[in-house]
Chains A and B, each alone.
Chain A
């Protein structure tokens, strides 16, 4: 045997061993997509406008406060859109003074757009707007990650998604009833403790009776089932929260004095200081515990409290646990809407795997039978090449951790049928070369050489298609493009290199070569 032939054989054996090693045991090495193992696929939109709105509202409020502290009375200072605030009624004689104090607060992030007649418009700078949006998506991503991790799902995926990168992809393998997981992911989880000005009252009208139906500035109406019989009650509370979820250190489910499930929480140092001075100053008054704009409980402040608190309400055990989880993971900076949800039960996934396996075997057997009957002994060569092609393809996928999806199985099956094309091209060419009455060795060598460029061209064209399929495809389609990609690459190796080596080995053993083709 020629020396370089030995090296070639060694290389092939090495690849086979490495391939087998990479895919054993298959159930551990090949990662299955959600469509095969079952699970939930969610796409959420981060409403980044929310975060901007909060920022603009907070700053407008601060401007108003600062002005009144300095004795400047304004008609109004409020956000008119998520990135724009308007301040009206600046007295002409205090104009310069107002400008100075507003500039100090806003200069870094807002541009002043007009100032005629005591009315000012401030618009958020585009750069600041962009970074705030990015920041809110990043925060949402981290919060969701924490929540998903606490759900205890194996191998979850939480990733940015979409062209504008303001969407979040969440994949939860093995979860087949997504209702509670979805609720946990989406809850804003904003905990606020606010001072009650009026209430409780059974309706909005009775609540505002003494104020002739008008909600005073700096206050808002919130409601929720706080009573013992879970009837909705209305409260008029201060708009600005005394403490919020940002001041929390930890939260967990607990039991209240009536043996009802409740949620206990503790403050961090900053939160404890704020809550301490708040409760100290308002002993005897009512405070409301509000989560995502819903009042859960209202209680009279008995004494100065600083370290911890408790939310009581009509919770089930599960609700208390879920709410504690949401509080622990922190609030979302913006609300989320679901754009897409796909749920596959595990039984359907198993059926798909079985069907895909049967189809693969059927396809392989049909192709093998044809190749053997048409090309006789050379058909063995092609069948070995195809089998090796499939092995290398799977090994590559296992190696890079690519996900096998149902369309991916289709790509696998297609590789059997289309991969054999390279062998057919070569064999047909060898036949032609043999017909021109050359020796067998020359014919084989000419066959491979002549067809090599054709094979490169066809594979590059297919790779271009596969690349764009990967680029623009989603989920399962990406899986299909991945299998196709690896199938094409390994096909060049098996159909050209491996197949040729096999011919050479066979021909090197005989003096007077004849070829069964």
Chain B
């Protein structure tokens, strides 16, 4: 039961509408982010206090809010995990950067307030206190990890394939990251260390997908020299389409399992992966190759302008294919 029997879709015809759709999502995401005043940072990056409390008896979020109202101006109280578990997450903002303000002050005040109140017995099951210094460091490290990973992959693909492919892959990755950020904002997930880890994994995944197509393009460049480059890329996408679909399918199975069964802590990670896998597959088919084609054609056009005449054929297949392309377009 093959998924496609000799698929031959004209993906390139759809590349501009696809780019439009992606831009729409990304711009909407940017607007949403701007409206809430920046990305929603989790405690890992913003710093502050998060206390996960398990209550002996069912309590309402409002009762807890009342109990701790004296501690901080902006506290967040929300349910954590299934309702019957009686677990609440209470978040307090950074207690202020003033020198000497001790990290645990907020958490201690919180315990005290809960003890004084009538919410009943409770047990702190998890507590995270992140100072402003660490938050900044973690955020900066997140950016560095991203920057360096992107640069490393760019260089590797540039060496193994050609420059335009590397740029195409990176554009696809940037696309996936932006779409994922937009979706995280739409669905109200905050940026945590886990989410950043998921996004880096998506980077690897998306590049993988692109590489499989590029590899096929490289192989076809040797076999189908006479074809127009765009046609050749389209054929390559079609030839690898079954694999692309199956792989994103199996990966989706597993991240869905993680989303459903993995518990509250991994939910953000799993959600990011789900969005990333879908976006990664989409960008491989519609964005990466299209970008590579546009860049290749630009470069080829510039080259034929500067050299004036066509360069004499060399024995290298890579060169010849470029020349062939220029001829086909002429």
Whether B27 sits at the interface, judged by CB under 8 Å, is: no
Question: Which one of B142, B194, B249, B256 lies within 8 Å of A370 (CB-CB)?
Answer: B249
Contacts of B255 in A (CB 8 A): 413-414, 417
Question: Is the CB–CB distance between A345 and B124 below 8 Å?
Answer: yes
Contacts of A360 in B (CB 8 A): 257
Whether A182 sits at the interface, judged by CB under 8 Å, is: yes
Whether B145 sits at the interface, judged by CB under 8 Å, is: yes
Task: Report the separation of the CA atoms of residues A431 and B242 in the bound assembly, to the nearest whole angstrom.
Answer: 11
- The distance from the CB of B311 to the nearest CB of chain A, in whole angstroms, is 28
Question: Is the CB–CB distance between A425 and B243 below 8 Å?
Answer: yes
Task: Report the separation of the CA atoms of residues A35 and B269 in the bound assembly, to the nearest whole angstrom.
Answer: 15
Question: Is the CB–CB distance between A339 and B134 below 8 Å?
Answer: yes
Indicate the member of B203, B208, B240 with the most A CB atoms within 10 Å: B208
* A461-B208 contact in complex given A339-B134, A418-B247, A421-B247, C-beta closer than 8 Å: yes
Question: Is the CB–CB distance between A362 and B260 below 8 Å?
Answer: yes
Contacts of A343 in B (CB 8 A): 124, 126-128
Chain A: which residue is nearest B1 at the CB level?
Answer: A374
Whether B327 sits at the interface, judged by CB under 8 Å, is: no
Task: Report the separation of the CA atoms of residues A139 and B215 in the bound assembly, to the nearest whole angstrom.
Answer: 55
Contacts of A18 in B (CB 8 A): none
* A406-B266 contact in complex given A418-B251, A458-B211, C-beta closer than 8 Å: yes
Question: Which one of A45, A358, A461 lies within 8 Å of B156 (CB-CB)?
Answer: A461
- The distance from the CB of A49 to the nearest CB of chain B, in whole angstroms, is 12
Which segment of A92-100, A102-110, A271-279, A476-484 sits at the interface? A476-484
Question: Is the CB–CB distance between B262 and A468 below 8 Å?
Answer: no
Which segment of B33-41, B146-154, B174-182, B315-323 sits at the interface? B146-154
Contacts of A356 in B (CB 8 A): 262-263, 266
Chain A: which residue is nearest B258 at the CB level?
Answer: A359
Whether B250 sits at the interface, judged by CB under 8 Å, is: yes
- The distance from the CB of B171 to the nearest CB of chain A, in whole angstroms, is 15
Question: Is the CB–CB distance between B131 and A462 below 8 Å?
Answer: no
Whether A257 sits at the interface, judged by CB under 8 Å, is: no
Please tell me the number of chain A residues within 8 Å of chain B, measured between CB atoms: 74
- The distance from the CB of B219 to the nearest CB of chain A, in whole angstroms, is 8
Task: Report the separation of the CA atoms of residues A432 and B249 in the bound assembly, to the nearest whole angstrom.
Answer: 20
Task: Report the separation of the CA atoms of residues A262 and B154 in the bound assembly, to the nearest whole angstrom.
Answer: 66
Task: Report the separation of the CA atoms of residues A417 and B246 in the bound assembly, to the nearest whole angstrom.
Answer: 10
The residues in B between 266 and 286 inclusive whose CB is less than 8 angstroms from any CB of A are: 266, 269-270, 273
Task: Report the separation of the CA atoms of residues A418 and B156 in the bound assembly, to the nearest whole angstrom.
Answer: 21
Contacts of B229 in A (CB 8 A): none
Whether A367 sits at the interface, judged by CB under 8 Å, is: yes
Chain B: which residue is nearest A343 at the CB level?
Answer: B127
- The distance from the CB of A491 to the nearest CB of chain B, in whole angstroms, is 12
- Report whether over half of chain A's contact residues are helix, strand or loop; otherwise say mixed: helix
Indicate the member of A163, A373, A464, A467 with the most B CB atoms within 10 Å: A464
Contacts of A431 in B (CB 8 A): 2
Contacts of B125 in A (CB 8 A): 344-345, 347-348
Question: Is the CB–CB distance between B157 and A461 below 8 Å?
Answer: yes
Question: Is the CB–CB distance between B253 and A351 below 8 Å?
Answer: no
Interface flags, B177-195, vs A, CB<8A=1, else 0? 0000000000000000110
Question: Is the CB–CB distance between A374 and B246 below 8 Å?
Answer: yes
Interface flags, A316-359, vs B, CB<8A=1, else 0? 00000000000000000000011111111101100110011011
Question: Which one of A341, A345, A406, A467 lies within 8 Å of B123 (CB-CB)?
Answer: A345
Task: Report the separation of the CA atoms of residues A469 and B253 in the bound assembly, to the nearest whole angstrom.
Answer: 24
Q: What's the interface size class on B, roughly?
A: 35 or more
- The distance from the CB of B143 to the nearest CB of chain A, in whole angstroms, is 9
* A340-B134 contact in complex given A362-B260, A453-B215, C-beta closer than 8 Å: yes
Question: Is the CB–CB distance between A417 and B254 below 8 Å?
Answer: yes
The residues in A between 413 and 470 inclusive whose CB is less than 8 angstroms from any CB of B are: 413-414, 416-418, 420-421, 424-425, 428, 431-432, 450, 453-454, 457-458, 460-462, 464-469
Question: Is the CB–CB distance between B128 and A341 below 8 Å?
Answer: yes
Whether A259 sits at the interface, judged by CB under 8 Å, is: no
Contacts of B246 in A (CB 8 A): 374, 424, 428
Question: Which one of A341, A417, A432, A473 lies within 8 Å of B129 (CB-CB)?
Answer: A341
Task: Report the separation of the CA atoms of residues A192 and B254 in the bound assembly, to the nearest whole angstrom.
Answer: 61
Whether B222 sits at the interface, judged by CB under 8 Å, is: no
Whether B102 sits at the interface, judged by CB under 8 Å, is: yes
- The distance from the CB of B288 to the nearest CB of chain A, in whole angstroms, is 13
Question: Is the CB–CB distance between A410 and B269 below 8 Å?
Answer: yes
Question: Which one of A367, A468, A474 lies within 8 Å of B200 (CB-CB)?
Answer: A468
Chain B: which residue is nearest A453 at the CB level?
Answer: B215
Question: Is the CB–CB distance between A473 and B204 below 8 Å?
Answer: no
* A462-B126 contact in complex given A472-B144, A474-B138, C-beta closer than 8 Å: no
Contacts of B204 in A (CB 8 A): 461-462, 464-466
Question: Which one of A348, A362, A373, A417 lies within 8 Å of B126 (CB-CB)?
Answer: A348
Contacts of A371 in B (CB 8 A): 250
Question: Is the CB–CB distance between A461 and B137 below 8 Å?
Answer: no
Task: Report the separation of the CA atoms of residues A472 and B141 in the bound assembly, to the nearest whole angstrom.
Answer: 5
Whether A471 sits at the interface, judged by CB under 8 Å, is: yes
Contacts of A359 in B (CB 8 A): 257-258, 260-262, 266
Whether B61 sits at the interface, judged by CB under 8 Å, is: no
Question: Is the CB–CB distance between A416 and B141 below 8 Å?
Answer: no
Question: Is the CB–CB distance between B254 and A471 below 8 Å?
Answer: no
Contacts of B128 in A (CB 8 A): 341-343
Whether A141 sits at the interface, judged by CB under 8 Å, is: no
Contacts of B250 in A (CB 8 A): 367, 370-371, 416-418, 420-421, 424
Whether A366 sits at the interface, judged by CB under 8 Å, is: yes
Contacts of A118 in B (CB 8 A): none
* A421-B208 contact in complex given A338-B102, A469-B200, A472-B144, C-beta closer than 8 Å: yes
Question: Which one of B134, B137, B145, B212 lies within 8 Å of A469 (CB-CB)?
Answer: B145
Whether A363 sits at the interface, judged by CB under 8 Å, is: yes
Contacts of A89 in B (CB 8 A): none
Indicate the member of A411, A418, A460 with the most B CB atoms within 10 Å: A418
Whether B207 sits at the interface, judged by CB under 8 Å, is: yes
The residues in A between 381 and 413 inclusive whose CB is less than 8 angstroms from any CB of B are: 406-407, 409-411, 413
Contacts of A425 in B (CB 8 A): 212, 243, 247
Known: A371-B250, A374-B1. 14 other contacts (CB 8 A): A35-B265, A179-B104, A339-B130, A341-B104, A347-B125, A348-B125, A351-B263, A352-B265, A358-B261, A410-B262, A421-B208, A428-B240, A462-B204, A474-B141
Which 4 pairs of residues, A with B, have the shortest CB-CB distance?
Answer: A417-B254, A363-B254, A355-B263, A472-B145
30 contacts between A and B (CB under 8 A): A338-B102, A342-B126, A342-B128, A352-B263, A352-B265, A355-B262, A356-B266, A359-B266, A366-B253, A366-B256, A367-B253, A373-B1, A410-B266, A414-B255, A417-B255, A418-B254, A420-B247, A421-B250, A424-B243, A425-B243, A453-B215, A457-B211, A461-B153, A461-B208, A464-B152, A465-B152, A468-B145, A468-B152, A473-B193, A477-B197
A positions within 8 Å CB-CB of B = 35, 43, 45, 162-163, 179, 182, 337-345, 347-348, 351-352, 355-356, 358-360, 362-364, 366-367, 370-371, 373-374, 406-407, 409-411, 413-414, 416-418, 420-421, 424-425, 428, 431-432, 450, 453-454, 457-458, 460-462, 464-469, 471-474, 476-477, 480-481, 484
